[in-house]
Amino acid sequence: MTGIRPSGWLWGFGLVFVAVAAVAADADGYRRVTGPCDFEFPRDHGAHPGFRTEWWYYTGNLEASDGARFGFQLTFFRRQLRPAPEQANGPQRPSAWRTNQIYLAHAALTDIDGNRHYAAEDIRRGALGLAGAERHGDAVRVFLGQWETVIRPPAHTLRMAGEDFGFDLRLEPVKAPVAHGDGGYSRKGTDPERASCYYSFTRLKTSGSVRLQDRRRAVSGTSWMDHEYSTAPLEPGIRGWSWFSLQLDNGTELMLFLLNLEAGGYHPASSGTLVAVDGKTTAIALDNIRAEVLRRWSSPSTGTDYPLGWHLRLSAIDLDLTIRTPVDDQEMETGRTTGVTYWEGSITAEGSSGGKPVKGRGYMELTGRNQAMEEKL
């Protein structure tokens, strides 16, 4: 998941997940997810036209040879403006500019030891080679200008060049991709069609370089990748989410999202996935999740209040974790692209799993907190 408008404007190994794809056409012509997704790779690393919204989302924690620590984010969004060009009103004249696809991207680099967060964003039309998602044999390239991810099994490569920072990384999956929910069918509300197709690479061995200002460092570490596509928005009464991805030092990974209700508490569709050392998954329902906020932080830039310290207790899998942020200000202000303010940043975890001590690192995303800004959109 990724930090976009909580109203739902954006819902981020040669293997086949055997499932029956349940996809229906919406009244306005868009496709909707209504049941398990028939994932087939590398095909489904690419774009899924017909669905309104899609994203490819990378985060990770890196360390340089001199001990300097960094967190990074790179997310590509695809937004379909109408179901198909032929359904637009008026005559359709051939044009290289004509497209019903818009691509957006958010990138960030957190200098943990320097206590600084750098961010960049871009938006372009899916035409004239400005942005897009291309398939070349087994390889998929998603790009926006000079920013790109290339998924060519068995590795992903990321390239991002901004004014103040950049990175060039190679990510190699340690485990096969994981389908969340029911065969990738991830519920985001009460109605069956308020859902997405959602899978992740939960542990990617990462190497390459990061650039901060004029200094480039060789780095290594661990990354996470989400790919999600959908059409339906969040249902009324849900205001954003709190999302966690964690790689623990016992070889397991955890994905958890909590859908915030305007009336307080969490929507019953909130859930998680534990990935075992051997890649097997355990689904976690809200009934087995206890989340307590331990510390809050108010952004000096926007005044937005974020819950940055957490105690997570997942009784069904005997996991107890305290979540902390090494840098508080990892807020994303995206006025040029999505117009939304959200928090996306590196976190640490410490606690116990099955009664044994465990530590880990990961990323957290917090959306739906800036009501004043959202009401302007």
Q: What is the pLDDT of residues 73-130, one digit of tens each?
A: 999 999 999 986 544 444 455 677 788 999 999 999 999 999 999 999 999 999 999 9
Tokens 């991805």 correspond to what residue?
Answer: 245
**In the chain, pLDDT over 70 holds for what percent of residues?**
88
d(CA 121, CA 106): 5
CB proximity list for 329: less than 8 A, separation 6 or greater: 115, 117, 297, 299, 300, 301
Q: Which helix (H) or strand (E) is 372 found in, with range?
A: helix 371-374
Q: What is the mean pLDDT of the chain?
A: 90
321-326 mean pLDDT: 98
d(CA 100, CA 126): 8
DSSP codes, 198-251: EEEEEEEEEEEEEEETTEEEEEEEEEEEEEEEE-PPPPTTEEEEEEEEEEETTS
Select from 225, 66, 228, 70 the least CA-distant residue to 157: 225
Domains identified in the chain and CATH numbers: 23-86+100-374 (2.40.370.10)
Is omega for the bond preceding 326 within 30 degrees of 0, making it cis?
Answer: no
d(CA 240, CA 8): 9
pLDDT digits (tens, 9 = 90+) for 185-202: 999 999 999 999 999 999
Residue 8 has pLDDT above 50, yes or no: no
- 287 and 269 in contact (C-beta within 8 Å)? no
Type of residue numbered 307 = P
Dihedrals phi, psi of 2, to nearest 5 degrees: -150, 165
pLDDT score of 1: 67
pLDDT score of 53: 96
pTM: 0.91
Sign of the alpha-carbon torsion through 134, 345, 371, 302: negative
pLDDT score of 370: 73
Residue 204 has pLDDT above 70, yes or no: yes
